[in-house]
Chains A and B, each alone.
Chain A
């Protein structure tokens, strides 16, 4: 009963380095999300994927890329990390659809990223 699994839990990068945050869900959800959380700002949507093979920008997409590898996995890539990307990153998933009766959003435990 894993739910949404994120790796790694912690990461320290130097400015300009790249890395990929991994996310996988085992609930057969069609939509997946990446958020960042900064003090006093709540969660802001970076990218989301409505279904396998599709991705869309959220509120703060600049500096990030995503890949919906299959229905289970949705990765977030920082090509050239900047100190402004220091944040806590959360992955989430949900079943969506016009006739869906349970659209509860489920979250992973987060990745704390520091860019020096």
Chain B
């Protein structure tokens, strides 16, 4: 059974700090991984998708990497801002597969 773990569960940092969120998964098959952001009471907003043939993706201050051999992905947020405060979730699935499994998320709070 595929399990997805996100560490830490919660994180509080001062504004301007660089930070790393972690996502690990147990199945060693080739995977795609997508990072999402969720604001309280809202739906999920896609941040970055890393397909199985890729190692990382970048969008603005965000960089996500995928290491299939170790079953890990990291989401790097540079120069954090109060507006980055949200819950960040990762999801994994096999290429061409259908079942998509989520981690429980990391709740981030950036203090002004």
Contacts and interface: CB of A to CB of B under 8 A. Distances in A.
A45 to B, nearest CB: 7
B108 interface: no
B46 A104 contact: yes
A42 B49 contact: no
Given A103-B32, A104-B46, A104-B49, A40 B104 contact: yes
A48 interface: yes
B98 A105 contact: no
Interface stretch (A20-28, A69-77, A106-114): A106-114
A87 interface: no
A106 B102 contact: no
A69 to B, nearest CB: 18
B100 A33 contact: yes
Contacts of A106: 46
Given A90-B43, A90-B44, A110-B43, A105 B104 contact: no
A42 B87 CA distance: 10
Chain A facing B: main interface SS: loop
Contacts, number: 60
B42 to A, nearest CB: 8
B98 A96 contact: yes
A45 B99 contact: yes
A40 B49 CA distance: 24
Interface residues of A, number: 31
Interface string B21-45: 0000000000010101000001110
B98 A104 contact: no
Nearest to A56: B98
B64 interface: no
A58 B44 contact: no
8 contacts: A43-B89, A45-B101, A48-B100, A50-B98, A58-B99, A90-B44, A96-B97, A100-B96
Interface of B: 32, 34, 36, 42-44, 46, 49, 51, 89, 91, 93, 95-105
Interface of A: 31, 33, 35, 40-45, 48, 50, 56, 58-59, 90, 92, 94, 96-98, 100-110
